[in-house]
Amino acid sequence: MSSETTATTPLVAVIMGSKSDWETMRHADDTLTEFGVPHECRVISAHRTPHLSAEFASGARERGIEIIIAAAGGAAHLAGVLAAHTTLPVLGVPMKSEALNGIDSLLATVQMPAGIPVGTMAIGKPGAINAALFAIAILANSRPQLRTRLEEFRERQERQVRSATLP
């Protein structure tokens, strides 16, 4: 691991509204781990723990967090609520809900009124992975070794597609 990422202080916070979101959000955790990005994963609910949501987001920058990833399902307020309490970039991941297949989560996360942005990813696992990759891309702007790792990841991905064979 490089000196850029040896710090144990988390740079990215992966927050989810419920423990039931972990099966999806572990893919964000895995991706950040693969790139050696110090991060933390926590359950914080906008509606079940409203005070903790505000406390967490307003203190995140001071603790060294640079990006917040927020995953929620249904009437998914979490990303917007966290974004309201910090000027850190917040990336929202809509969870695939049982009732509406995540369309509810997507619309609730993406349709932020002007003034408080949330960068919204795709529903479910692709969104979890891409939120981590997006966070890595932001961090890589000021961390050349992380940028190199991201470029190598893209090259590996391209090689896999180019060499794909069909049965």
Which positions lie near ligand RP5, rule CB under 6 A?
Answer: 16-18, 20-21, 45, 72-74, 95
Rounded least distance, CB 30 to ligand RP5, Å: 19
Burial of 163 (0-12, 13-18, 19+ CB in 10 A): exposed
Nearer to ligand RP5, 85 or 149 (CB): 85
Q: Which residues pair with 91 in a beta bridge?
A: 69, 119
Least distance in Å: CB of 80 to ligand RP5? 13
**By C-beta, is 92 or 119 nearer to ligand RP5?**
92
**In the bound complex, what is the minimum distance in angstroms from residue 73's beta carbon to ligand RP5?**
3
> Among all chains, which residue has been given the structure tokens 């002007």?
114
Minimum separation from the CB atom of position 89 to ligand RP5 (A): 20
Q: What is the DSSP letter of 68?
A: E
The span from the CA of 74 to the CA of 82, in Å, is: 16
Closer by beta carbon to ligand RP5, 95 or else 140: 95
Q: Of 21 and 29, which has the nearer Cβ to ligand RP5?
A: 21
- Cβ(79)–Cβ(105) below 8 Å: no
Sign of the four-CA dihedral 22, 25, 30, 36:
negative
